[in-house]
Amino acid sequence: MRNMIQSGSIVVIAEHFQGEIRPVTHELVRFAEALQEVRPTGIQILVLGEKVEGLAKSLAKTTGKDVLGILAPQLTRYNGQAYKTVLHEVLREHPPAYVCVAHSSRGSDFAPGLAMRMGAACITGVSSISVQEGVICFSRDIYGGKINADMVSSSKTTVLTVQPGSYGPTPKNDQAGGKVYLKSVVVVPQASTTLSTTAFQTSDLDLSIARIIVSAGRGIGEAENLQLIRNLASVLPRSVVCGSRPVIDLGWMTYDRQVGITGAIVTPDLYIACGISGAAQHAGGMKGSGFIVSINTDPMAAIFNLSDICIVEDLMTFIPVLLEKMAEQRN
Amino acid sequence: MKLLVCVKQVSESEAAITIDPASQWVTIGGTSAFRMNRFDECAVETAVRIKEQFPGTCIHILSVGPERSETVIRRAIGMGADHGTHIVTPSGGFVDPSILAGWMATLREASGADLILCGAMSEDLMQGQVGPLLAECLSLPCATAVMHVKIMPTGEDVQVEREIEGGYREVVVLQLPALLTIQTGINQPRYPTLSNLLRANKLVLKTLHADGIDAPPPLQGVKQVTLPRKLREGVFLEGSTAQKAEQLITILSDRSFLA
């Protein structure tokens, strides 16, 4: 059986869902290219699943990289145990220097365990690469994005999960496509089985048509205070009220209004972040907005690093004053 | 059933955080409050609900951290857990998550548990690694970002729903013993009851010191910590609340957002 993985290379694990390559895979390729600039070596993409031949071919064409498609007939759905077992099997003979995985729900599910099986360090949620004193550093957010930590690995192989939204998609490949290698594996039964993948919450609410999004975070304190956010939205034309994850978790708003990596990715002309800390999870869902205004009591809140206008105020004080002033000006 | 729940103490999200002079790590402001990581609170709540459903279930709490972390173990017991172990670490500094998981795996309460619950990540370091690594140390099947847990009637399996992007969930069945990491939103954690808290405060916790546990060399470390790069040149509005409101109206109006 041919194995095209080379020792010391950079391996990208493609993420796919319902027969399609997830956009984050292209960000992983961009990340791998950035890593290649500081650590010259080959890049290979690995795609694992039941019927991935087509995906492997299309990846090789769109990225120009060599792709190894691992055909696992038993792997009809994503399963963490199976992913760890198969990837470890494929990678252990020629350990790559880096394994790049999406910092998505699935990537985060298998990456740490895979790293441990390979004796590799695992650095999660990486947003950029730098070289300091000759050492390659992987930058990640800590403390809700208030602080940035540059991590270094001391192991031969390092597994990295890359924060979605940190690297743009790969520019369209106009060179020749990469080579496609295929390998079949048998997945032995695992201690866990994935039964189904189901759409849990869907809605007809189309956030893309909103020109303005007024978004509430944990800083609103009480569910009743949401009314204040709604009042603000009511005087802003073509606006919609949304929220960050904590507000949805608390059941104060429905999931279809959740902005962030695990919710909706929005790009309105104006985004007003009310009491939102601005951790990567949320930032990834709104940082492409045209103009960003943030209101937060904490002057160190990470949201201010991606805002055009920063207002250090308590929402409960500020919004009523703002509404009053707006009413005065209208009259 | 024997459950182990791993909990971490974190600082309040509004805590004043400064970078230490050597840029090696952060210092939390002296007056800042600490509390239980929210993801872990949801894990404790999940465990207590299992105990209510299966009488005879025993919940053990484990926390790794400096002396002050003891309070989160007592809070978890106040919520309905039975007992707790504290692995005491020296305060401050970064510890490789694979070493943390290695320490935790040495406990009899970990290797003997039918189900281990962790938070999906900590709010401070946001690595999401200790749970999956602990599972690996103990050769347990693992599911992360869990939004629903159901112990099957035979008591041999657990069926869970994992949250994935785009409003989808994956339904996974794991053979017990297994490890789950719990996502926020799965439940609303209860407040401790007074009677449980009184019992928690009297309880003598199992304590051991991290430096007494054998561990392999770390695989990763921190080169430096910095303030994040600004993605936009944010203008901080100055003046009174009313003045800030007036400035904002002008800015929004100039950009035709009020039209």
pLDDT tens per residue across span B68-123: 999 999 999 999 999 999 999 987 789 999 999 999 999 999 999 999 999 999 99
Taking CB atoms and an 8 Å cutoff, what residues of chain A touch B174? 191-192
Q: Where are the alpha helices (DSSP H) in A92-204?
A: 105-118
* Interface residue B163 vs chain A (CB under 8 A): yes
Maximum Cα interatomic distance, chain B, rounded to a whole number of Å = 67
**Total domains present in chain B:** 1
DSSP label of B130: H
Q: Is residue B234, in this structure, part of any structural domain at all? A: no
pTM of the model: 0.94
Amino acid at B191: Y
Q: Is residue B127, in this structure, part of any structural domain at all? A: yes
How does strand A10-13 pair with strand A43-49?
parallel
Bridge partners, residue A47, by sequence: A69
**Can you give the residue range of the structural domain that contains B144?**
2-212
Q: What is the pLDDT of residue B206?
A: 97
Smallest CA-to-CA distance from A42 within A22, A66, A26, A18 is with: A66
Nearest CB among A116, A191, A300 relative to B141 is that of A191
* Interface residue B136 vs chain A (CB under 8 A): yes
Smallest CA-to-CA distance from A85 within B114, B157, B117, B141 is with: B141
Which residue ranges form the domains of chain A, and what is each CATH number? 10-184 (3.40.50.620), 207-330 (3.40.50.1220)
Q: Is residue B86, in this structure, part of any structural domain at all? A: yes
Report DSSP letters for A111-126, one per residue: HHHHHHHHT-EEEEEE
Tell me the per-residue pLDDT of B134-156, one tens digit each, with 9 for 90 and over: 999 999 999 999 999 999 999 99
Distance CA A209, CA A234 (A): 16
Q: Is residue B113, in this structure, part of any structural domain at all? A: yes
Across the range A57-83, mean pLDDT stands at: 95
Q: Residues of A numbered 184-203 whose beta carbons fall under 8 angstroms of chain B's beta carbons: which are they?
A: 190-202
Distance CA A158, CA A121 (A): 5
CATH code of the domain in which B22 resides: 3.40.50.620
Q: Is residue B65, in this structure, part of any structural domain at all? A: yes
Contact assessment for residue B116 and residue B4, using Cβ atoms and an 8 Å cutoff: yes
Across the range A287-295, mean pLDDT stands at: 96
The answer for A148, left when phi > 0, alpha when psi is -120 to 50, beta otherwise, is beta
Q: What is the ipTM of this complex?
A: 0.95
pLDDT band at B16 (very low <50, low <70, confident <90, very high): confident
Query: Which residue, among A87, A200, A203, would best test binding to B if mutated, counting the most B CBs under 10 Å from its CB?
Result: A200
Q: Closest-CA residue in chain B for A289?
A: B232
Q: Is residue B248, in this structure, part of any structural domain at all? A: no
Contact assessment for residue A69 and residue A47, using Cβ atoms and an 8 Å cutoff: yes
Tell me which of A207 and B8 has the higher pLDDT: B8
Q: Is residue B249, in this structure, part of any structural domain at all? A: no
Q: Residues of A numbered 240-279 whose beta carbons fall under 8 angstroms of chain B's beta carbons: which are they?
A: 245-246, 248-251, 255-256, 261-263, 269-270, 277, 279
Provide the shortest C-alpha distance from residue B206 to chain A (in Å): 28
